[in-house]
Amino acid sequence: MKIKRVFDLTQPLYHNCPCWPDLQPPTIEKMLFIPKSDSNVEKLNLNTHTATHVDAPYHKLSDGITVDQIPVDTWIGEGIVADVDFLGDKDLITAKILEETAAHMIEGDIVMLHTGWGSHRAFTRKYLKDWPALDETGARWLVKKKARAVGTDALSIDLYYLPEDTGPVAHNVLLKAGVPIVEELFLGEIAKIAHKRWTFFCLPILIKGAGGSLARAIAIDEG
């Protein structure tokens, strides 16, 4: 692999950073610190779906596999960005939209959905509740195209305001098909380079028995 440039797609984790609005924000405390001690050591208190993170099938499916059961090479592969940042608050990413914005996808790609919401990360209604999301047709399109994994720069792949009789449709369609999800990415830099193919690494912390995990995500430009 000849690396031309590496882009960090990870949203930073910090004390009281934005997270799912129904959950408590993370806390990061100092346990040891210099000069009182000979080391700096921090203590984290947070849920596993904070900042950039992955969703394993077990997140939504009681019989689904957990993060530690997903082969590590699932999180590494070539892929594309589908640039849908023309969408507005609570708009849906449909199959028709993906046919236009992800036409350069090939079987086995990791597909990143650039809504532009990664640039809005803050304690605002816009970021915490009003992001564009993948609808059922879009999720089924990605499964049919055999996506390796699907990422979004929004807080979730589904809408916050879900109809009571539907549940998290995009999550269920993707995870039932064994397509894991990466959420809360920052895709602003790589989305500027149209129709580029990337090598993505979205490696989660290996938490045994978990439905999700913090992750470090990068995109590599091989030139």
Report the CATH number at residue 85: 3.50.30.50
Task: Give the confidence band of 166 by pLDDT, cuts at 50, 70, 90.
Answer: low
Record the tokens describing residue 200, joined without a space: 């993505």
In-domain check, residue 130: yes
User: Which two tokens mark 156?
Assistant: 């979730």
CB 132 within 8 A of CB 101: no
CA distance 157 to 168: 9
- Average pLDDT of 90-106? 97
Q: Is residue 211 part of a domain?
A: yes
For the beta carbon of residue 171, count every other beta carbon within 10 angstroms: 22
The pLDDT of residue 55:
98
Is residue 19, in this structure, part of any structural domain at all? no
Taking the C-alpha atoms of residue 37 and residue 219, their distance in angstroms, rounded to an integer, is 38
Position 222 scores a pLDDT of 86
- Residue 179 CB burial class (10 angstroms; 0-12, 13-18, ≥19): buried
Report d(CA 189, CA 153) in Å as an integer: 12
- Average pLDDT for 22-40: 95
Q: How many domains does the chain have?
A: 1
- Residue 223 and residue 2 in contact, taking contact as beta carbons nearer than 8 Å: yes
User: What's the pLDDT score for residue 2?
Assistant: 81
Cα 208–chain centre separation: 20
Mean predicted confidence (pLDDT) in 42-64: 97
pTM here? 0.95
Give the whole-number percent of the chain exceeding pLDDT 90.
93
Domain that includes residue 61, residue range? 5-11+47-221
Look at residue 27 and tell me if it is in a domain. no
Measure the CA angle with vertex 117, ends 174 and 145; round to 5°: 30
Does 23 reside within a domain? no
Share the mean pLDDT of the chain.
95
Query: Within a domain: residue 24?
Result: no
pLDDT at 14: 97
Q: Is residue 31 part of a domain?
A: no
In a domain, 20, yes or no: no
Between CA 57 and CA 90 the distance in angstroms is: 24
